[in-house]
Amino acid sequence: MKSINIFLLFFLLQVVVFAQINPGDMGSYDPETLVTVEKTGTVIVDDSSLQPMYYLDEDNDGNADYYLNFGPFWYQPEGSNAVRPNNDDQVTISGGLHESLSGLSVLVVYEINNEFWREPFETFWNNMGTHNHGGGHHSGECIGSSFGFEHDELALTEITGVVIVDTTFFMNHYYLDTGNDGVPDLVLNFGPFWYQPESGLERPVNGETVTINGGQMQNGLFPMILVYELNGEVWLDSTTIGSHFGGGWFHNSDSSPTQFHNIFDEDDNITVNPGWHTGGMSSDSLFCQLIELYPQNMPGIENENVITGFEIGMYRSNGMNNMFQGGGCGGQMNMGNNFQMQFHFSAQQIEGVDLSSNSIIVKQWVEQLSQWDEVSGAVVDLNSMTVSFSTSTLSSYYILTTSSVTSVEEDKLPQNFSLKQNYPNPFNPSTIIEFNLGQKEAVSLTVYNLLGEVVKEIFSGILPAGTHKYNFNAGTLSSGIYLYRLTTGNSVEVKKMELLK
């Protein structure tokens, strides 16, 4: 009897400690509602309970000014040298401030002493790792979340345990405690937070005992189970996964189209047509994967009203992603013919948006220019909530966004510096590029292809204030979309033009 009481006391202490992870207002902290701040001070560690609590004394008066939220006691960042501080350590914390109306405000830790601790918008919600691209989108990096054919097989597993929910990220993280010791033993992968099964089944709550049927793999600190069934009810139809998580191989010898889809939404798909191979491509076969990402995991979205985002991976047999040639946030591939693309958005994602047939647009990331460029010819179907288009130039990242009024507001401002749309457009083979300068300054006018390669430097030098026109002859170039960029000492503007031969 005594041993049972000791066990119960230990378990209850674990529950109390876990509850203390989120002081003040309970539940998830949405990073979009937090104010990013940097605070320096002395750490106060309260180790009177089973697991220590951390505070920051900013003015060094011996009293805590903030609660430091490092997440659950088992959390450790991957690929970082950061560790939890000791009592009396002097630290600099970068994090999200959660103001509290009663008690201490919470500082959700993103970095400690310039070392990465965690990404508030968790990049790898899939918990499946990546092919030769470790890390995440933290610390200014942009490495990618697709994992290719790394996990072709999952071990079918049935297991029972107690659910532990980590609410300290924006997207809740789910774990399973099979040993009843308050410590997670497995990661439960229910998919992205916006995924809901057709049955209406809800995710379990913290402390709930559940039976999970799913596919298990080893990745990171804990094994991961991709959930197929929750307490005997279908969560994800495992037949839609296939042997490659919705992705798969396509070959130069294929004689019929092949379609690949996002496993959590079959309306997100890519169709590959025979004839895709080009003479300059070294691989006769490629592995295609399409996954949906949370908007905050996309690069360069500060000025975009993003509805949802997608990442495309194209892997060679050695596991390298062709979309990441040269590093960076992903690149582009030129194919031998058009791929049919379709992206789906949900009612939840467009809630509060005043939609019309032309208010949703799709953009692709141009890494070399570090900007989003609108995809032409996209068709929006508000009945099926899909956006579809054809392209022979695949980008690693796509977003669905809404038309912005920023450009209209900018038109009302004095145009001291402006780059006008080329005319005629489309053109063959010559067009006029016109721009205005408000003062004498150094100018560079350059044309790029969609891979970010310079195809023509039209002008580079010093020009006086006023209107300037240049003729661009594309007689040696092939038909397609090109970008032209005007750069001065303080401004950069890019527009696109279409060459039709």
Encode pLDDT of 263-283 as tens digits.
888 899 999 999 998 877 778
DSSP for 91-105?
Answer: EEEEEEEE--SSS-E
Q: What is the mean pLDDT of the chain?
A: 79
**DSSP state, residue 376:** T
CA distances in angstroms from 324 to 113, 125, 141, 174, listed in the order given: 30, 20, 13, 30
Q: Evaluate whether 68 touches 109 at the Cβ level (below 8 Å).
A: yes
Task: Tell me whether strands 222-230 and 186-189 are parallel, antiparallel or unpaired.
Answer: parallel
| Per-residue pLDDT reduced to its tens digit, 300-348 | 887 788 888 999 989 888 888 888 765 556 788 889 999 999 999 887 6
Q: How confident is the model at residue 210 (pLDDT cuts 50, 70, 90)?
A: very high
Lowest average pLDDT, out of 19-28, 196-205, 388-397, goes to 19-28
18 has pLDDT over 60: no
Q: Please give the distance of CA 449 from its chain centroid, rounded to a whole number.
A: 25
pLDDT in the model for residue 295: 78
> 6-15, 36-45, 472-481: lowest mean pLDDT where?
6-15
pLDDT of residue 140: 40
- Residue 472 pLDDT more than 50? yes
Q: Which of 358, 399, 395 is nearest to 379 (CA)?
A: 358
pLDDT > 90 in the chain, percent: 29
Q: How far is Cα 76 from Cα 82, in angstroms, rounded to an integer?
A: 8
Q: Residue 327 has what pLDDT? A: 53
Q: Give all domains of the chain, ordered by start, each with its CATH number.
A: 2-116 (2.40.50), 155-238 (2.40.50), 245-404 (2.60.220.30), 413-499 (2.60.40.3080)
Q: Is residue 65's pLDDT more than 90? A: yes
Tens-place pLDDT, residues 73-92: 778 887 788 999 999 999 99
Contact 125, 188 (CB under 8 A): no
Q: Indicate the SS3 state at residue 311.
A: strand
Which residues, in sequence order, are CB contacts of 91 under 8 Å at separation 6+? 40, 41, 42, 43, 56, 85, 112, 113
Query: What is the residue whose two structure tokens read 């070294």?
Result: 282
The answer to pTM > 0.85 is no
Cβ contact 310:361 at 8 Å: no
Half-sphere exposure of 163 (CA within 13 A, CB side): 22
> Nearest CA to 306 among 32, 64, 73, 70?
32
pLDDT of residue 249: 92
Average pLDDT for residues 404-433, to the nearest whole number?
66
Rounded to an integer, the average pLDDT of 358-383 is 86
Number of Cβ within 10 Å of residue 430's Cβ equals: 12
Q: What share of the chain has pLDDT > 70, as a percent? A: 80
Closest Cα partner for 391 from 335, 433, 473, 440? 335
**What residues contact residue 40 under an 8 Å CB cut-off, 6+ apart?**
58, 90, 91, 92, 93
pLDDT for 30 equals: 56
Give residue for tokens 């596919």: 215
Average pLDDT over residues 43-50: 84
